[in-house]
Amino acid sequence: HAHVFLATGAQLGKRLGVAVETRNMAFDGLIPALMLNQVDSAIAAISLTPERDTLVDFSSVYYGGADALLARNDATFQLTGLQDLANYQIGVQTGSVYEAWVRDTLISPGLLKPQYLHTYQTMNEALQALVSPEPPIALVMMDLPPAQTALLTQPVKMVAQGLNPQEYAIAIPQGAKTLQVQINTALKDMEGDGTLAALAANYLQVTQPLPLPTPAPTQPPATP
């Protein structure tokens, strides 16, 4: 799953005429790194949310994705609605939109006990917890493409999807308007010439990506 973001970043660097230096960081450290100017941009399945938008700026949306819920192959339960999730312990990645979704949609209304939410630094850690001999969780909520990969490599099955669709964008420091315009222009070109679709097909095996929203007009940066 990470390869598609590395390839997208490499394409952007090529089109912007800049060298790309990649840093592998913990997901929940990406926004703080941008706020501290430790990195110039972050691209790693970062969903555009109002909460994040108050901390950093974003490019236009470059990919629309969906979620999935995975359970062990030997699980016998079925999920028919949100109410069913109240009975099971759920694993998510720390700092992800799925952690926020579980808190806002399940815990805040009282559907799920707070202790039933388990957070992990990486999705691999969550999957390993799910398939361990004495699993502390019954479900893992994650992006659909890596979930589909997990179906091929782990003894898990998909029990639900599409509960929390996502729109992915590139995060940049607040006020980086010139960079924002340059990235948006490159993304528009990559969408128009089929590069984004080719990357999705090559790395995510997605032949029909979800339609992207029409980006709002971007104001040109003021002359210094």
Q: What is the chain's pLDDT, residue by residue, as a tens digit (224 residues)?
A: 567 778 888 899 999 999 999 888 888 899 999 999 999 999 887 888 888 999 999 999 888 778 899 999 999 988 888 889 998 999 999 999 899 999 999 999 999 999 999 999 999 999 999 999 999 999 999 988 889 889 999 999 999 988 888 788 999 999 999 999 999 999 999 989 998 888 877 776 654 444 445 444 334 444 44
Q: Which of 83, 142, 134, 143 is nearest to 109 (CA)?
A: 83
pLDDT at 49: 85
Distance CA(97)–CA(91), nearest Å, equals: 12
- Please name the amino acid found at residue 23: R
Q: How far apart are CA 79 and CA 88, in angstroms?
A: 10
Q: How much is the pLDDT for 75? A: 95
CA nearest 60: which of 199, 216, 222, 221? 216
Name the amino acid, one letter, at 183.
I
Which residues, 6+ apart, have CB-to-CB distance to 141 below 8 Å? Answer: 67, 68, 69, 70, 90, 91, 92, 98, 101, 102, 163, 164
Comparing C-alpha atoms, which of 108, 59, 54 is closest to residue 86?
A: 108
- At 1 the pLDDT is 56
Other beta carbons within 10 angstroms of residue 72's beta carbon come to 19
